[in-house]
Structure 1
Amino acid sequence: MRSCGASSASMRVTRDEAMKVAIYGAGAIGGWIGVKLAQAGHEVGVVARGATLAALREQGLRLIEGGSTQTVDVQAAEDPVALGVQDVVVVAVKGPAMASVAAHIAPLLGAQTVVLTAMNGVPWWFCDGLHGDFVGKRLKSIDPDGAIAAAIPSAQTVGCVVHASCLVEAPGVIRHHQGNGLIIGEALGRPSERVKALAETLAAAGFNASVSEQIQRDVWYKLWGNMTMNPISAITGATTDRILGDELARNFVTSIMLEAKEIGARFGIPIDQAPEDRHAVTLKLGAMKTSMLQDVQARKAVELDALVSAVRELGQLTGVKTPYTDALLGLARLHASTLGLY
């Protein structure tokens, strides 16, 4: 594919010029990012289908924030061919959709295109930025046949950890609740000028954007909390405060987090905190309804593999036994598959 082999130094992300940006996945986070970039003067296109595509064409992309509704015009297309080669492609889909994205993203990618992945959980490029024996390992739970990695090379990929809460109010309508943080870093795990330039572009668009020395650390730390709260809430229907307020459920969460902490330490990403420290942070957020619970209630496919299956696989690679993670995965998978969501 034409984008393979491109070096990060040559890729076109500038601090001052307007860019062509495609949003692949105009859901809560993708839509939020798209509106902000369009308001900053960038040419934004969106790959969408069905009701979302129709809404974008008829009414534009809308963001409800701070008591007001902001609307931007975007070029919306079902076929990426209609949008053409981009400077930046923001991939903001759930894990189950990535195989389809990989199969259709090629028309958006040129030799200098940057792919910014704003997704939850362990991404397909995660091991490419690690060290030692783990470099370049392919996680079968995320990319079983290597098709995603082949379609979206790590050399063109910048990871993004999102610290914000948004939801889809209606097709093409996003409501922003809280948070404004975007942490970005090279998928290959080393800082670059293009990441610094992209962070400045995002900051100019109103985001609290920062550059990570190793984005895998930020991905793993966010996952450390998400991998438990999301599936447990999906199974039980409980908000995060109720999960942590139940002593037995909280102890189960703690046991899973200790397994994940040991796994991370073995592949070079130690976590200094104790699970109880993270519980305290989560409790401060109040009665949070996780994204996976929202997906179950909306009868959408759940992204268990990126959040839990990948951790189990990393446990196998590092020699860490994961009985509590296995139990969570088994229960969550059975629950989701019974509903036809996995």
Structure 2
Amino acid sequence: MRICVFGAGAVGGNLAVRLALAGNEVSLVARGAALAAINSDGLQVLAGDDVLEARLSASDDPASLGAQDAVIVAAKAHQLPAFAATAAPLLHRDTLVVFAQNGIPWWYPAAGLQPLLDPDGAVEHVVGRERSTGAVIYSANAKLAPNIIRNTSPQRNRLTIAAVDPGSQARVAQLRRVLRAAGIESPDTDDLRAAIWQKLIGNASVSVLSFLDERTSREVFDDAWLGPAGAAIAEELAAVARAECLAVDAARAAPAPGHFSSMLQDSRAGRPIEAAALLTAPQMIARQHGIATPCFDLLCGLAYGKAARLQAQARATADLG
């Protein structure tokens, strides 16, 4: 299968290498140091004791890569407008576009979310729901160098996918088989929305706390104070999901040891955090159902406050430079 991974971050790079080694024609949209390193030396994934290496076509110009059978968007949710602005050359009528982001996705059927998650309707206009594939990813990764990735969950690399439009179900089933052949778990699912909320519960109750406390996700999960706080957040979000008529509980799997959440990795690298999809959108849905979420609201306030302070510090440092 001809597959383009849009975004050469830790998750995207891990998926790209595994798909390439399984015999697919894989390309990457990358920029800056990552693009230079991948084109010079290839892409490497350290997974337990295994070293996975692949040479891939990589470019910062999607038009140079041509139309694809599938595009896996591994950029963050707030980067979707940039994807939409350059994605058209990657698409033909039957291209599947897999949105592998955390949080509530742009296509989620709830009132009032589009201005937040798909400003100006750019993704819907360029991609459309008929080509869109919802996804939930479980894969713990970190960048060690521009073209070297540490996969800290070598026994668990899962991409659950489902068609947003029923007309693309057969193509999604084919992509699911391709993922499985590459050693990437891709289970069947009857309701991707439930899987989205189950992952969201883990992200909000562990990953955001990891960002705030600047410790690994496992340390936060096991902490005598933050562990119960995360459990309370999980209970609130599970109640919202149930109001959406979804079979979701507040159970959370223990994170991989030694892994820093992607939100913390982004903040340490000076990148914006995933806030709208992980924080604001669930709050909006909770308000629509009239459900109080005091613990989650506090989490949102603390996360937005820290993000604003980091941005102010970055601006001050740039002004001094």
Structure 2 matches for 1:81-100, cutoff 5 A? 81-100=63-82
1:126 and 2:108 are equivalent in the alignment: yes
Aligned length: 311
Q: 1:110 to 1:223 in 2, by over 3 A?
A: same
Which residue of structure 1 aligns with residue 305 of structure 2? 334
Question: Normalising to structure 2: TM-score of the pair?
Answer: 0.89
Question: Normalising to structure 1: TM-score of the pair?
Answer: 0.84
Could you say what secondary structure the match of 2:277 adopts?
helix
Which residue of structure 2 aligns with residue 303 of structure 1? 274
Could you say what secondary structure the match of 1:196 adopts?
helix
Could you say what secondary structure the match of 2:286 adopts?
helix
Match of 1:282 among 250, 254, 260: 254
Partner amino acid, structure 2, of 1:41: G
Displacement of 1:240 after TM fit? 3.1
Which residue of structure 1 aligns with residue 36 of structure 2? 54
Structure 2 matches for 1:267-278, cutoff 5 A? 267-271=244-248, 273=249, 275=250, 277-278=251-252
Displacement of 1:166 after TM fit? 1.6
Residues 28-65 of structure 1: per-residue CA shift (max 9 Å, x gap): 11111111111122111111111011111111222222
Displacement of 1:137 after TM fit? 5.8
Which residue of structure 2 aligns with residue 38 of structure 1? 20
Counterparts of 1:327 and 1:307 in 2: how far apart (Å)?
14
Displacement of 1:338 after TM fit? 1.0
Q: 1:189 to 1:232 in 2, by over 3 A?
A: farther
Counterparts of 1:188 and 1:227 in 2: how far apart (Å)?
28
Q: 1:267 to 1:137 in 2, by over 3 A?
A: farther
Match of 1:187 among 140, 160, 164: 164
Counterparts of 2:91 and 2:25 in 1: how far apart (Å)?
16
Matched-pair identity in % = 33
Residues 136-166 of structure 1: per-residue CA shift (max 9 Å, x gap): 7634332233222222212111122222212
Counterparts of 2:45 and 2:283 in 1: how far apart (Å)?
37
Structure 2 matches for 1:62-73, cutoff 5 A? 62-73=44-55
1:215 and 2:192 are equivalent in the alignment: yes
Could you say what secondary structure the match of 1:321 adopts?
coil
1:318 and 2:289 are equivalent in the alignment: yes
Could you say what secondary structure the match of 1:231 adopts?
helix
Could you say what secondary structure the match of 1:302 adopts?
coil
Counterparts of 1:54 and 1:287 in 2: how far apart (Å)?
29
Could you say what secondary structure the match of 1:155 adopts?
coil
Displacement of 1:213 after TM fit? 1.7
Gaps of 5+ in 1: 1-18, 128-133
Match of 2:138 among 141, 146, 163: 163
Could you say what secondary structure the match of 2:157 adopts?
strand
Which residue of structure 2 aligns with residue 131 of structure 1? none
1:176 and 2:151 are equivalent in the alignment: yes
Residues 106-160 of structure 1: per-residue CA shift (max 9 Å, x gap): 1111101000122211110122xxxxxx4x7634332233222222212111122
Residues 169-226 of structure 1: per-residue CA shift (max 9 Å, x gap): 2112222221122211112479822222111111112222212122111111111111
Could you say what secondary structure the match of 2:120 adopts?
coil
Counterparts of 1:299 and 1:159 in 2: how far apart (Å)?
28
Counterparts of 1:101 and 1:193 in 2: how far apart (Å)?
25
Partner amino acid, structure 2, of 1:282: A
Displacement of 1:247 after TM fit? 4.4
Q: 1:23 to 1:191 in 2, by over 3 A?
A: closer
Counterparts of 1:295 and 1:302 in 2: how far apart (Å)?
6
Partner amino acid, structure 1, of 2:57: Q
Counterparts of 1:210 and 1:107 in 2: how far apart (Å)?
30
Contact 1:124 1:138 in 2 (8 A): yes
Counterparts of 2:282 and 2:113 in 1: how far apart (Å)?
13
Partner amino acid, structure 2, of 1:221: Q
Which residue of structure 2 aligns with residue 11 of structure 1? none
Q: 1:28 to 1:328 in 2, by over 3 A?
A: same
Q: 1:249 to 1:65 in 2, by over 3 A?
A: closer
Counterparts of 1:140 and 1:257 in 2: how far apart (Å)?
26
Which residue of structure 1 aligns with residue 87 of structure 2? 105
Which residue of structure 1 aligns with residue 319 of structure 2? none
